[in-house]
A and B are shown apart, each in its own frame.
Chain A
Amino acid sequence: MSVRRFSPQTLLLLVLFVILGALALFPFYCLALASFKPSKELLRFGLNIKLQADLLSWNNYSFIFSAGGAKYITWYKNSLVITAVYTVLCMLLSSMVGYGLAMYRFFGRNLIFIFVLLVMMVPIEIIMLPLYKQMIALNLIDTFSGVILPFVVSPLPIFFFRQYAAGLPKDFLDAGRIDGCSEYGIYFRIFVPLMTPAFGAMIIVQALASWNSFVWPLIVLNSGEKLTLPIGLSSLVTPYGNNYDILIAGSVLAIVPIMLVFVFFQRYFVSGLTVGGVKG
């Protein structure tokens, strides 16, 4: 490939991003490499990042997919179910609230917004005990619903959708009303398409958050067969020694689902795909 195809600016940009990309990927490279080695090798001489062909094998991965790794597969499935359900519900509900807060002036709006911020900033560590009692009262202990429901109308995406919608032209609201759309019709038919890039971003961010969530699922879930991936992986680390084999290979595999989500949904915020409505 000839370098001359690129303008100097482009070349400069490329150099910058190659460096940044390499820095970003370095830890992952170490882990991916370590996942193909016996765990002892990673620590044997400090950080060992040499490619040693004779040490590389699929052993750690084949262990995960053998009987011994059955637990891992269970954790993985549970995380997939929780993440999928959470993300869908969260998008639907949070975008409505954010849109409502951005588009309408109504009594109590600022108060509700303050509460959104408040819920966002309450440290989970501190409401853990009372929230657990609440879950007992609602009979949601040791259920996926108990993991998902308290956080499904999530303040972070509400705030994001509110900010995103605030940046959109309000003329559409009036135009929709003139066309005879109901308020909800305006939301679903006009603004949801306009907010596609916001949905793209939030699906990625919230799916990631749910996939990695740790503190709350751990408190709610009791049975071994319902535990999620981050909990399972962390249980391999103890003060009396770690199980590095599954830990490292397992966390490399854990990247896959959200990476797919990212690759699929990022197209919604790439130039040129913007929905027609904004141009005008």
Chain B
Amino acid sequence: MKKALHYSLALALASSIVLAGCSSNNNDSNASASDSSKAASGTPTNLEFWTFNELHQKFFESMTEKWNAAYPETPIKLTATTFPYDDAHNKLLVALQSGKGAPDLSDIEISKIGNYLKGDPQFVPLNDIVEPVKDKLVMSRLDNYAKDGKYYGIDYHVGAQVIYYNKEILDAAGVNADTIVTWDDFEAAGKLVLEKTGKPMTTVETTDQWTYWPMVVQHGSDFLDKDGNVTLNDQGNLDVLTYLQKLVKEKVAVAAPGGFHHAEEYYGFMNGGGAASIWMPMWYMGRFTDYMPDLKGKIIIKPMPVFKQGEMRSSGMGGTGTVITNQTKHADLAKKFLEFAKVSKEGNVEIWKQLGFDPIRTDAWTDPAMNEVNKYTDYFGTGIFTFLDSLKSEIAPTNIKERTPAVSDVIKTKAMFQALNDLKDPKAVLDDAAGSIK
């Protein structure tokens, strides 16, 4: 027994030495991003970047290589780390609140940005890299990350809202997608599809906001107004929710299996030809290519229907902004690098090529490089950006404010489910929801 004790004590001791050894260690192994900068003349500046998406990390690493090739006199060594989604945001919040430990650059998802705009935003304003190219950017996407006239984040994409039709099902019902212009047309076509094929025209999310929100903003309203006041129960919201509930009651729409359009159950349902359409932002293309392989070549992308002629046919949904925290010691360099990676035309072309997103800089959309063959053109056909360019002036903005996380929460947990699953009176549902937000 004594032996065992000594052994375990020795182990404990040894391990504490191991531990002590760790604490002085600084990150120097993650150098892959800057290998190509060996020829650089200057000493590389360390920049730390946090994200919640591995693909964003790879994008920034490749942009670092390009930066170092273009500006050998001010090379960058990027230390990028991917954390889990929710926790990446918590971690950043903790670091910003305690005033220590935050990275130079970080990604913040749009539904979380409201938290960071409370009080004094702990970020570096980006006005000097945004304002010179104002006319070339979809500015509504930058307003989401702004407070008091200062821009704090640059988004990866527009997240243009579109509708994806399953052409095979439409053809079976004898419906031509191009004739669906208004939501009334959509409803009529839906009834036809239901009658001819027995399948629902579409699916609606009951525990998320991507079905409802785009329709609301394209109808000229929003959850919050420009000053951040709650408008969740105004007429615009009510019109949309009443319409959606009618579709469900008519069985033209069904609640998405699994509750939302990212549920595992949902992918299987759609892949098997479960419904004739789904409206989601452009970035949903990746879900088709990755999880619904059997629909390849059957999906066509069209503008959203409208409630009345003249309303916008798209909106900017979802998104992730890259910010520079005020704890950085290299604010100027970080800003220039961020401009290079996400504001320049070249950077925006790379965003499409590497990430498959519709970038925020519209003069990139017409670049010949945007028509190169990739997995998205294989799946959906070419001409994605020609189509998008035609919608350029019709992308309705959203109001992202401090109360956005609170509104999102009540939409996801209560309002959608009560109206579209429990089929409660839309007016009562929205009044309740709006009343619960303090």
Are A and B in direct contact (Cβ within 8 Å)? Answer: yes
B-contacting residues, A53-109, CB 8 Å = 81, 84-85, 88-89, 91-92
In-complex Cβ contact of A237 among B11, B18, B19, B85 (8 A): B85
Interchain residue pairs with CB less than 8 A apart (19):
A42-B264, A43-B264, A44-B268, A46-B265, A92-B8, A92-B12, A129-B97, A139-B23, A140-B23, A143-B25, A146-B23, A214-B87, A222-B27, A223-B27, A225-B30, A231-B84, A235-B83, A237-B85, A238-B52
Q: Given contacts A145-B22, A188-B1, A224-B81, is CB(A88)–CB(B15) below 8 Å?
A: yes
The stretch that binds B, out of A112-120, A160-168, A239-247, is: A239-247
B interface with A by C-beta (< 8 Å): 1-2, 5, 8-9, 11-12, 15-16, 18-20, 22-23, 25, 27, 29-30, 48, 52-54, 79-85, 87, 90-91, 94-95, 97-98, 100-101, 103, 109, 262, 264-265, 267-269, 271-272, 283, 286-287, 290-291, 293-294, 318
Could you tell me if A235 and B291 are in contact, using CB atoms closer than 8 angstroms? no
B-contacting residues, A131-153, CB 8 Å = 132-133, 136, 139-141, 143-146, 148
* Chain B residues whose C-beta falls within 8 Å of the C-beta of A188 in the assembled complex: 1-2, 5
Could you tell me if A243 and B83 are in contact, using CB atoms closer than 8 angstroms? no
* Chain A residues whose C-beta falls within 8 Å of the C-beta of B109 in the assembled complex: 239
* Chain A residues whose C-beta falls within 8 Å of the C-beta of B271 in the assembled complex: 43-45
Nearest first, the 8 A-B pairs at minimum CB distance are: A234-B84, A85-B15, A143-B23, A224-B81, A223-B27, A46-B268, A145-B19, A43-B267
Could you tell me if B82 and A235 are in contact, using CB atoms closer than 8 angstroms? yes
A45→B94 CA distance, assembly (Å)? 41
Could you tell me if B82 and A224 are in contact, using CB atoms closer than 8 angstroms? yes
Closest B residue, CB atoms, query A128: B94
Could you tell me if B20 and A89 are in contact, using CB atoms closer than 8 angstroms? no
A89→B109 CA distance, assembly (Å)? 39
A81→B18 CA distance, assembly (Å)? 9
CB distance from A213 to the nearest CB of B (A): 13
* Chain A residues whose C-beta falls within 8 Å of the C-beta of B53 in the assembled complex: 238, 240
CB distance from B17 to the nearest CB of A (A): 10
Could you tell me if A85 and B19 are in contact, using CB atoms closer than 8 angstroms? yes
Interface centre among A91, A188, A214, A223 (most CB of B within 10 A): A223
Does A15 sit within 8 A of B, measured CB to CB? no
Does A260 sit within 8 A of B, measured CB to CB? no
* Chain B residues whose C-beta falls within 8 Å of the C-beta of A88 in the assembled complex: 8, 11-12, 15
Does A267 sit within 8 A of B, measured CB to CB? no
Q: Given contacts A231-B84, A239-B109, is CB(A144)–CB(B283) below 8 Å?
A: no
- Tell me what chain B mostly uses at the interface: helix, strand, loop, or mixed: helix
* Chain A residues whose C-beta falls within 8 Å of the C-beta of B290 in the assembled complex: 40, 241
Could you tell me if A44 and B85 are in contact, using CB atoms closer than 8 angstroms? no
* Chain B residues whose C-beta falls within 8 Å of the C-beta of A208 in the assembled complex: none
Closest B residue, CB atoms, query A135: B101
Could you tell me if A43 and B94 are in contact, using CB atoms closer than 8 angstroms? no
Q: CB-defined interface of A222-260 with B at 8 Å, one 1/0 digit per residue?
A: 111111000100111111110100000000000000000
In-complex Cβ contact of A218 among B87, B268, B291, B293 (8 A): B87
Could you tell me if A45 and B90 are in contact, using CB atoms closer than 8 angstroms? no
Does A219 sit within 8 A of B, measured CB to CB? yes
CB distance from A190 to the nearest CB of B (A): 9
A42→B54 CA distance, assembly (Å)? 22
* Chain B residues whose C-beta falls within 8 Å of the C-beta of A223 in the assembled complex: 27, 30, 79, 81
Could you tell me if A193 and B1 are in contact, using CB atoms closer than 8 angstroms? yes
Q: Given contacts A44-B268, A144-B19, is CB(A241)–CB(B287) below 8 Å?
A: yes
Does A170 sit within 8 A of B, measured CB to CB? no
CB distance from B30 to the nearest CB of A (A): 6
Could you tell me if B98 and A132 are in contact, using CB atoms closer than 8 angstroms? yes
Closest A residue, CB atoms, query B103: A222
* Chain B residues whose C-beta falls within 8 Å of the C-beta of A129 in the assembled complex: 94, 97-98
Does A189 sit within 8 A of B, measured CB to CB? yes
Closest B residue, CB atoms, query A141: B101
In-complex Cβ contact of A240 among B2, B48, B286 (8 A): B286
In-complex Cβ contact of B291 among A40, A85, A146 (8 A): A40
A129→B294 CA distance, assembly (Å)? 47
Q: Given contacts A92-B12, A224-B81, is CB(A40)–CB(B293) below 8 Å?
A: yes
* Chain B residues whose C-beta falls within 8 Å of the C-beta of A215 in the assembled complex: 87
Does A173 sit within 8 A of B, measured CB to CB? no
Does A192 sit within 8 A of B, measured CB to CB? yes
CB distance from A5 to the nearest CB of B (A): 39
